[in-house]
Amino acid sequence: MPGQIPEHLQKKAADRLAFYEDLGIRLFYRNRRVEAVFQQEPSVESAENINPSTQITYQEPTLPKALPKPGLQKAVSAVPSKIPPLPLPASPPPSLFDATDKIVGDTLLKIREDLGECTRCKLHKHRHTIVFGDGNPKAELVFVGEGPGADEDAQGLPFVGRAGKLLTQMIEAMGLQRKDVYICNVVKCRPPENRTPEDDEISTCSPFLLRQLEVIAPKVIVCLGAVAAKTLLKTNRGISQFRGQWLDYRGSKLMATYHPAYLLRNPNAKGEVWKDLQKVMAVLGLRAKGKSA
Ligand code: URA
């Protein structure tokens, strides 16, 4: 029938709704034209359309093209084939991040519960333990890495392997202890052979990271490596182009620096990272370990 939503799209919509529901996101339809959800192409940011002269700030992602739990299939099927046009809102449609804003009373515990024994992406097949995050839930400083390695997968804690030991040294050199900061990753399950997480894995898992950041609301976020920086900034630019610069992420100051694993392979870059961390220390009013007033 003309205008009817095809069955495969209904299924896709139901699946996607279930996914967002699992994340605790339930506010999508307010003041929106349902037709537009099925017609709009998501805008894809490519390296070409980034003006290198402009400062990078966090950019709102667009809504998914189609919405989607099998339990909601009925509701989606019940959408009439002819949807009366609703007035478009004056303001832009709510994004995923606006939606996460609306999770009133969200907590790290709720986020962990929503994550559950996750099987949303293929990374679950090889993992032993989900590595959610660790540290002070009220930290002023959050470190975001890429994804767990073998040691993290075994222990369920972020940055406890070789790279983690280096990160711990860096934190202590800043005059802090691990328990003072919060440490987490873009993906919560170990990618096989420690490969870089793939786009679908990042887009499936990163909403949990975004909720963690929303709840903690740190003064400073340090992105360890390109995956964390690109995920939070929604950019394809190489990290060396903006490493060491203060950027904005939803009201937190964001500093991207090299990943400790990179430093293990390239110890000469440690000086650059230390300079970046000194900028962080200045903002947080910290003194380097061993330096007195
Ligand atoms: N590398 C990461 O990015 N995260 C970890 O937790 C460990 C190593």
The preferred substitution site among 185, 186, 187, 189 for testing ligand 1, maximizing ligand atoms within 8 Å of CB, is 185
Strand order in the sheet with 252-257: 134-135, 182-185, 141-145, 220-224, 252-257, 246-249
What's the 145 CA to ligand 1 centre distance in angstroms?
5
Give the residues of the chain that fall short of pLDDT 50. Answer: 29-54, 61-83, 86-100
Task: Show Cβ contacts of residue 215 under 8 Å, excluding neighbours closer than 6 positions.
Answer: 106, 107, 108, 111, 137
What's the 247 CA to ligand 1 centre distance in angstroms?
22
Using alpha carbons, select from 254, 252, 268 the residue that is nearest to residue 218. 252
The preferred substitution site among 129, 131, 143, 152 for testing ligand 1, maximizing ligand atoms within 8 Å of CB, is 152
Q: Fold for domain 108-284?
A: Uracil-DNA Glycosylase, subunit E (3.40.470)
**Whole-structure pTM over 0.85, yes or no?**
no
pLDDT of residue 154: 98
- Please return the burial class of 90, using the count of CB atoms within 10 Å of its CB with bins 0-12, 13-18 and 19+: exposed
Pocket of ligand 1 (CB under 6 A): 131, 145-149, 152, 158-159, 161, 163-164, 185, 261
Domain boundaries, given as residue ranges, for the chain: 7-48, 108-284
What tens digit of pLDDT does each residue of 207-230 get?
999 999 999 999 999 999 999 999
pLDDT of residue 20: 58
The preferred substitution site among 146, 188, 205, 239 for testing ligand 1, maximizing ligand atoms within 8 Å of CB, is 146
**Contact in structure between 121 and 204 (CB atoms under 8 Å):** yes
What tens digit of pLDDT does each residue of 202-213 get?
999 999 999 999
